[in-house]
Chains A and B, each alone.
Chain A
């Protein structure tokens, strides 16, 4: 079992390394956020799974399982909050972005609010 644990730790370190590399290489906030979050979730989850494999059903192993569950639940929620906050404080998308359908809808909503009389 320790061999499987070591293999999982190596996989986890690889994906965490990818996350750091993507933080450096990606062009804007949104791409950085999502690529970092995705790799960190899998990488740290893999390291925690290796803790569970090595320790088995003991106090430490159970805590590692809970860490995995909360990581998968909470990490994407943080990313949603940060991305929406960045968008609302008008952080621009990268220059080579293809489309922005969110802004079109927000503008449509704004126009509607402007044209309807304020009673």
Chain B
């Protein structure tokens, strides 16, 4: 039931944002439609709805967004240097990294942030063993521990505080 309420509010906020100067007609239509959607698909939206009220998680989410933005700009400048360089200094390969995050949302966001803001892109995830296979543009280390330290560690520590 809690999950349904959370999904209802989420849908309603997105709807109101899309039709920003709110008037009564849009509001009624939005309540009807998001109520319908929440009734049908509410149970699969969140598995642990009680964590939505923990204030600390939102603060860490904010920190995560800032880190994501800074690292993303840095990775893009690095990529621009590599692409514009006449010799194309790349060194590609697929390496394996280990993560301790177990939840699905956490794993998805970790893979997303690896793709967006390091020199790598996630190819496959082994959820039981906690491995992520990562295609690196510039392989610096083929050792699992060192590669994890280089690629995933800075996001993993923050995401663990948000989603675990």
Interface of chain B: mostly helix, strand, loop or mixed: mixed
Specify which of A31, A34, A84, A102 is in contact with B115 (CB 8 Å cutoff). Answer: A34
A32-89 contacts to B (CB < 8 Å): 33-35, 37-39, 41-42, 57-59, 62-63, 65-66, 72-73, 75-77, 79-80, 83-84, 87
Contact call B115/A76, Cβ cutoff below 8 A: yes
Across the two chains, which residue of chain B brings its CB closest to A88? B124
Question: Is A7 part of the binding interface, using a Cβ–Cβ cutoff of 8 Å?
Answer: no
Question: Is A110 part of the binding interface, using a Cβ–Cβ cutoff of 8 Å?
Answer: no
Contact call A94/B92, Cβ cutoff below 8 A: yes
Interface of chain A: mostly helix, strand, loop or mixed: helix
Residues of B whose CB lies within 8 Å of any CB of A are 14, 17-21, 68, 72-73, 75-76, 79-80, 83-84, 88, 90-96, 108, 111-112, 115-117, 120-124, 126, 131, 133, 135, 137, 139, 142
Apart from the given pairs A77-B112, A97-B92, 10 other A-B contacts in the complex at a CB distance below 8 Å: A14-B80, A21-B83, A42-B76, A59-B21, A73-B112, A80-B123, A93-B92, A97-B93, A99-B142, A105-B96
Residues of A whose CB lies within 8 Å of any CB of B are 14-15, 18, 21-22, 25-28, 30-31, 33-35, 37-39, 41-42, 57-59, 62-63, 65-66, 72-73, 75-77, 79-80, 83-84, 87, 93-94, 96-103, 105
